[in-house]
């Protein structure tokens, strides 16, 4: 069990985007967790943030407990977005969880993932996918998702190429709410 940080979770706000961009940018530059090569600008991250949140997808931040109401102290973030564009996929979301390097191993990722799962189930989504590329933190990510009910449903070999190496990608999945035990309800979706 990892030691817990004093933190709180809340929906992300536009003023959090520079810190979100910094956390993501560091991962882009230093790891294969993201398949982007160049860190997106704050403007680009703002566009991505707005597109998701205006469509009603949940986007959460974990904030240092002492700074909960300020746009400072973002320890990590998690969001869900469409897994695929075509309409029949609309009850399935793909998640993304990033924790600042210095805040890892203290329960931030777990707290964000648990809250994201809960929120997506409340919104009426039925399945969540996690697409995890081999990286320095993929063992932690797979352990984290496994602990939150995800199972490995497939792996694709060498579909990424970054930092001079071919990279495998693993897909994990868990159901949300009633999963496939009942027909979905379009009404609560964004």
Ligand X SMILES: CC(C)(COP(=O)(O)OP(=O)(O)OC[C@H]1O[C@@H](n2cnc3c(N)ncnc32)[C@H](O)[C@@H]1OP(=O)(O)O)[C@@H](O)C(=O)NCCC(=O)NCCS
Q: Is 98 helix (H, G, I), strand (E, B) or coil?
A: strand
CB–CB of 54/99 below 8 Å?
Answer: no
Measured CA to CA in angstroms, residue 89 lies from 104, 128, 139, 178 at distances of 32, 11, 28, 16
Judged by CB under 6 A, the chain residues 114 through 133 that form the site for ligand X are 132
Q: What's the closest the beta carbon of residue 32 comes to ligand X, in angstroms?
A: 9
Contact status: 27 vs ligand X (CB under 6 A): yes
Determine the size of the site formed for ligand X (CB under 6 A). 24
Nearer to ligand X, 17 or 129 (CB): 129
DSSP state of 58: -
How far apart are CB 18 and ligand X at their closest, in Å?
18
Radius of gyration, alpha carbons of the chain: 16
Interacting residues with ligand X between 45 and 74 (CB under 6 A): none
Question: Cβ(80)–Cβ(124) under 8 Å?
Answer: no
Q: Does 102 bind ligand X (CB under 6 A)?
A: no
Judged by the rule CB under 6 A, the positions of this chain that interact with ligand X are 1-2, 27, 33, 96-99, 104-110, 132, 135, 137, 139-141, 143-144, 147
């Amino acid at each position: 069990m990892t030691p817990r940080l004093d933190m709180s979770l809340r929906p992300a706000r536009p003023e959090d985007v520079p810190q979100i961009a910094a956390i993501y940018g560091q991962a882009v530059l230093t790891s294969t967790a993201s398949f982007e090569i160049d860190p997106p600008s704050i403007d680009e991250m703002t566009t991505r943030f707005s597109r998701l949140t205006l469509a009603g997808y949940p986007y959460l931040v974990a904030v240092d407990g002492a700074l909960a109401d300020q746009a400072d102290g973002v320890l990590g973030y998690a969001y869900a977005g469409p897994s695929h564009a075509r309409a029949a996929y609309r009850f399935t979301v793909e998640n993304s969880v990033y924790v600042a390097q210095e805040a890892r191993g203290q329960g931030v990722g777990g707290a964000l993932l648990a809250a994201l799962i809960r929120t997506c189930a409340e919104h009426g989504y039925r399945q969540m996918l996690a697409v995890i590329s081999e990286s320095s933190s993929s063992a932690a990510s797979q352990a984290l998702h496994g602990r939150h009910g995800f199972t490995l449903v497939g792996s694709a070999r060498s579909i990424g190429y970054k930092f001079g190496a071919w990279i495998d990608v693993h897909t994990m999945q868990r159901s949300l709410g009633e999963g496939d035990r009942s027909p979905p309800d379009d009404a609560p979706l964004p």
